[in-house]
Amino acid sequence: MNARTAHDVWTEQCEAAQMIRARFGLKAAFDYLVGEKLTIFVSAVSRHPDFARELPLSISEVRRMFMLNDILMHLAQMEHKQNKQIWDISQEDDPLRESPAAAVQHVRQFMMIKELLTTTGLGTS
């Protein structure tokens, strides 16, 4: 990895989310940080040990930035949208649609993020 560390990545993303929140609101900030950036961060965890080490700290920061009620509400909305997309994909014969394996991987990543953001303790004493 270059000079930018995993720590730099998530802290810059959290700072950007704060600016997005101030300008565009809570939902936009949550979608950016959790729906986009945290998803990418979680996918990097299996390939990069430095991302794995930083994951608990990044999750703690996301949990600090958003109230639990907001996290639960936005995760429910994301899950509903994801389920609808999976249903729509399964009903189409589109040759460019996401593969079933990729869809399963996205669901697993989302479930991991959901669990990390909503569990009562992260074990990061």
Per-residue pLDDT of the chain (125 residues; tens, 9 = 90+): 456 899 999 999 999 999 999 999 999 999 999 999 999 999 899 899 999 999 999 999 999 999 999 999 999 999 888 777 666 655 556 666 667 777 788 888 899 999 999 987 655 54
User: Does residue 107 lie within any of the structural domains?
Assistant: yes
Q: For the chain, how many structural domains are there in total?
A: 1
Which domain, by its residues, includes 59?
6-118
User: Does residue 124 lie within any of the structural domains?
Assistant: no
Give dist(CA 97, CA 99) in Å, integer.
6
User: Does residue 27 lie within any of the structural domains?
Assistant: yes
**Which is nearest to 33 in space by CA: 52, 20, 46?**
20
Give dist(CA 86, CA 81) in Å, integer.
9
Query: Which tokens sit at 9?
Result: 């990545």
Give dist(CA 94, CA 91) in Å, integer.
9
User: Does residue 53 lie within any of the structural domains?
Assistant: yes
User: Does residue 123 lie within any of the structural domains?
Assistant: no
Check if the beta carbon of residue 8 is closer than 8 Å to that of residue 56: no
Query: What does pTM read for this prediction?
Result: 0.81
Give dist(CA 59, CA 53) in Å, integer.
11
User: Does residue 102 lie within any of the structural domains?
Assistant: yes
